[in-house]
Chain A
Amino acid sequence: MKKYRKVLTVLLLVTFLALVTTGCGGDGSSDTTVKVGVILPLTGSEAMFGEMEKNSFEMAYEELKAAGKTTVGGKEIKLMYEDDQGKQDVARSATEKLVNQDKVAMLSGGYSSACTNVIAGSAQNANVPFLIVTGSSDDITKQGWNYVFRGTAAPASKYTGAFWDMMEKVVDPQSVAIIFENTDFGTSSSKGFRTECQKRGINIVFDQAYEHGAIDFKPMLANLRSTNPDMIFATSYVMDASMIVKQMKELDFNTKLFVGNGAGYTMPEFYQNAGAASDFVASTSLWVPNVTWPGAKDYFEKYKQKFGKEPDYHGAQAYATMYVIADALGRATDLTNAGIQKALKQADIQTIMGPIKFEDWDGFTNQNKPNTYVVQWSKGKLEVIWPEDVKSASYVYPVPKWSER
């Protein structure tokens, strides 16, 4: 009995403390700041991307501050970061904390599609505007959620816009193989690719998901080789991507073209780890530093100088998103959730990711129409090869065999 009483006391104390702290949190919305919650994976296996996006947010914020654009209606914009650890349950509690305790005016962030989906759902329920940075699985903007906006990220199945154009004019494969990691992003993008293939009558000879973080991809690659496809379409995060091409080289496995679907295949780490095996690997991409949008090159140089590392399109997404946020908050007639939602809906702004407007099309809600590119690695440099009017180098197709390099 005594033991139970002790437990009971502790329980009561904990409940009391919890009540007190949440009580304090409720009064936290002050008159001098507009709080913007940013949820990113700052620890866990996706932390590298979260870090890059946070750095880019901060960089953009400093620039905006210097230009006096971080003060709206006499209030200072304040970014409040929360870590989702790349886990859905953590993403949900982070969202709830920001919404209920910190009473943020709007939310942003969202790296992995799985987490973004969770944040979007909670934000919509609470009627808090959520501007997505990266999470790109199709269904997030297909739910008719009017408080969820996606500007800098394309729906996963639309990463391939420019690529299909190139397929028609150059590659024209008879058979393709699809490999993808079994996550929201991987499944969503391969689904889009599969439907396109079926529509165009391209034969899919191999179609398999894999578990992220494997050491040995050869079992899958050996199975893949025996189907002898003209082209391989792969969706992977960064280190899996380099493991796959390295092991293809080890197996002396040749195909006419290997195309990655953004993500891992455009990262500087891909080249650093895969080395020579990265040569001639093509990828779809949403952004490249030498793209013609104003400010893109400056962002790239400035980031590289400041953080000693090259950013890729993920960083650019965060950077551009910060500008969209400042623009919307600056235009909002009142800084309530509904007011900001309205301002976002009317956004029409030029960023380093191209023009951003939130439109309803093809079943998507508040989804910007993406600009996509096809890039190809050449001796450690990422060259734009399609669309032809913005290309920085000519494409190499079919790619030389491993033995002939």
Chain B
Amino acid sequence: MEDAWIKFGQTVICGILLGGMYSLIAIGMTLIMGVMKIINLAHGALVMVGMYVTYICSTNYGIDPYIGMFIAMPVLFLLGCLIQKYMINRLVEVDSILPENQVLLTVGIMLVLTEGIRLFFKSDYRSVVTSYSSNTVFLGDMSISVPLVIGFIIAMTFTFLLHMFLTKTDLGKSIRATSQDRDAAVFMGVNSSKITMITFGLGAALAAAGGSLLLPLFYLFPDVGHLFTAKSFIITILGGLGSTWGAAIGGLVIGLSESLGATYISMGYKDVVGLVMFILVLLFLPGGIRSLVKR
């Protein structure tokens, strides 16, 4: 009995902690989704590039991944802004190209980023080993890995800061206005092309942050992005398209359900649990978590 509770506790805690980091990555995607109205399928690739930046900082300059993150974020912010300004915006300006087709551009960007990284780093698997990588804290008899806890705390802090930014600052309010109704926002004097650029940069920076937080736990190779694109796509739908809090909660839900599925069903069906939730949400709650809140 005792053992069963420990196992349950461990499953729940690890699931939530991991979910916190999924959230951060998905928030980046949902932010771009909200303002741009297109699914950014290059999102995982941006996570991957962010991870490589942190990786270089760590192996070449000995910078701790949690500090390297603050280098990766501005770099990715810049990269995101450039992609938006010089690539995606050019398509958005052409009315005859439907938004569904704009998605194809993001697939192209993903391929270029992935193969570009492969050119420099080969396909090798890489990982960052830190002194605390495999440290664990024991909560009763539950063993919880330290990078998971640190990652979760930082991810939640970022989520909170982002929330403050979106609700309290002028720039944040403009982003929300643009995402609710672009035309109205433009009439109110919002510079929408600047806003979309900043939003894309912000989304990319959050992607980099999420990736960097996972780096001490996970590993890195040029195609690692697909994993994150798929995951954040599911979370974005689960949370309700374009909803920041929806994505935050969606991430936790996915993390938790994967973890429970792995413990009580089988690790072989871990992804199935998340995907079944995805289908159920589409069938019975098409608006996602956001629609629950609005009711």
Contact = CB atoms under 8 A, between A and B. Distances in A.
Interface stretch (B120-128, B172-180, B246-254): B120-128
B48 to A, nearest CB: 12
5 closest A-B pairs by CB: A47-B123, A210-B267, A209-B268, A219-B263, A219-B262
B163 interface: no
A44 B223 contact: yes
Interface string B45-77: 000000000000000000000000000000000
A32 interface: no
Contact of A51 (B10, B122, B218, B223): B122
Contacts, number: 105
B245 interface: no
Interface of A: 43-45, 47-48, 50-51, 182, 208-211, 213-220, 222-223, 226, 238-239, 242-243, 246-247, 249-252, 269, 272-273, 275, 277, 309
Given A215-B18, A216-B259, A250-B136, 15 more contacts: A43-B223, A48-B125, A48-B221, A50-B123, A209-B266, A210-B267, A210-B270, A211-B271, A214-B262, A220-B267, A239-B127, A250-B134, A269-B125, A273-B219, A275-B129
A47 B269 CA distance: 25
B268 A47 contact: no
Contact of B10 (A218, A242, A272): A218
B294 to A, nearest CB: 33
Given A44-B223, A239-B125, A208 B267 contact: yes
Interface centre among A210, A249, A277 (most CB of B within 10 A): A210
Contacts of B259: 216, 219
Interface string B183-225: 0000000000000000000000000000000100111011110
A89 B3 CA distance: 45
Interface string B1-42: 001000100110010001000000000000000000000000
Interface of B: 3, 7, 10-11, 14, 18, 114-115, 118, 122-125, 127, 129, 133-134, 136, 143, 145, 214, 217-219, 221-224, 227, 259, 262-263, 266-271
Contacts of B127: 239, 242, 272-273
Nearest to A41: B123
A269 to B, nearest CB: 5
A185 to B, nearest CB: 14
A43 B115 contact: yes
Nearest to A213: B227
B125 A216 contact: no
Nearest to B270: A211
B25 to A, nearest CB: 12
B295 to A, nearest CB: 34
A222 B271 CA distance: 19
Interface centre among B136, B217, B267 (most CB of A within 10 A): B267
A51 B18 CA distance: 32
